[in-house]
Amino acid sequence: MTTLRSAFRTVVADALRALWSHLWPAPLSERPRNRRYLRERMIALPLLAVVAAASFGWAYAQVRGDSAALRDSFGPALGDLADAEMSLRIADREAEESLRAGEAVQLSGLSKRYRTRTTRATQSLNQVARSGALTTAERQELDVVSGLVADYGTWISFAQNNVGDTALRNAGLSYARSMLCSTPGPAKKDDKDGYPPCEAAAGSASDATAVVDRISTLESRLRGRLADRAALGGGVIAASAVAAVALALLVSGLWRTQFFVHHRLHLRVSVPLLIAALPLLAVPFLTADAVLAHRAQQRVVTTAGDLTGRTSPGIESTVDEEPFGPRNPLLISALEEDITTDLDAGRLSSLDGVTPWVAPVGVLAAALMGATLHGYRREYVLISRSGAAV
């Protein structure tokens, strides 16, 4: 045990001494001997390469992974939640208007838009469940929402079956609407786009009981997590700082080592060290790719706010009424396309698939540096004007 501790302390001391030589190089008048210099570089350069590759690779993978999560999971889930909410509100008005026809609705049935929108709402909720963006508790909440949507349809059917009895029809419609919204307004007090208002329940998010309230709560939580994924976390910032320092020291150390090899070992250039330094050429491109991805993520946060806060049944109904008309920029489908477009444009496509290779390539470069310097250290030829052996 004592021997292992001593060896560990020796290795740590050598590593710290080698790194210190990068931060505070010896004066020219105190040039180190060849063997000592190569020994320090044999420890410092591979160590810096591993630290830089690990920290930079992890930070880059986090940024790229966040973009993938926003594009494949969070964005579609928010879009489907918004679509489910708007579809249910559209279906609610359609049910009311159909029931106004009286007994004729028993023959013709509820409108096609009602059937289409209720089916679409159910499908959207199922897609949210498969998105992978929800936590276990939120998944359970979504199951409750799906059950309430089914019950809502049951009470609308009750109102349809009793359309000849005004009291039963109104009771069924009112109860169905109370399941949809916590504070539904009277039919005559429609909002600006012609649809009955569906206000959120007062109090905390845990007070949500109706379908729209529960969907709004899920949207709020999901939007918060989306913003967290789009922000640079403390871990990414710290890893980026470590990578920047390690890369700066590594580039300086490689340059000084090449200078040493040229003047002290009388080699024009060390080809293996040049090969080991080639991965450094990819760092600016990877950094630019990460910056583009982060900017795109910030734009997605804004679009997500529009997706859950500025859409309305009136805007969404234009898709049914004018399928070939001009597209409103606040349509749910248009906003979802904006999210996908921003995230696709916020990257260098030529670097797709590079993320898993950043750290392994850095480790291979570190191994090549260590092997090369070890070989120089064993087989170096001292050329000195004084002819002294070192």
Q: Residues 329-388: pLDDT tens digits?
A: 889 999 999 999 999 998 898 888 899 999 999 999 999 998 888 887 766 544 443 444
Rounded-to-integer distance, Cα 4 and Cα 10, Å: 10
- The one-letter code for the residue type at 290 is A
Give CA torsion, residues 301, 304, 310, 315, to 10 deg. 140
CA angle (358 as vertex; 355, 363 as ends), nearest 5: 150
DSSP state letters, 122-156: HHHHHHHHHHS-S-HHHHHHHHHHHHHHHHHHHHH
> Which residue shows structure tokens 């997706």?
307
Q: What's the chain's length in residues?
A: 390
Query: SS3 breakdown of the chain: % helix, strand, coil, rounded to 5?
Result: 75, 0, 20
Q: Domain map of the chain by residue range?
A: 33-379
Q: Is 183 helix (H, G, I), strand (E, B) or coil?
A: strand
pTM above 0.85, yes or no: no
Per-residue pLDDT of the chain (390 residues; tens, 9 = 90+): 666 666 666 766 666 665 565 554 554 444 556 667 777 788 889 999 999 999 999 999 999 999 999 999 999 999 999 999 999 999 998 888 888 877 777 667 788 899 999 999 999 999 999 999 999 999 999 999 999 999 999 999 898 888 888 888 889 988 998 898 876 544 444 555 567 667 554 444 445 678 998 999 999 999 999 999 999 989 999 999 999 999 999 998 898 888 887 776 667 888 889 999 999 999 999 999 999 999 999 999 999 999 988 888 888 888 877 777 777 888 999 999 999 999 999 889 888 889 999 999 999 999 999 888 888 776 654 444 344 444
Rounded-to-integer distance, Cα 288 and Cα 350, Å: 12
Identify the sign of the CA torsion 126, 127, 129, 135.
Answer: negative
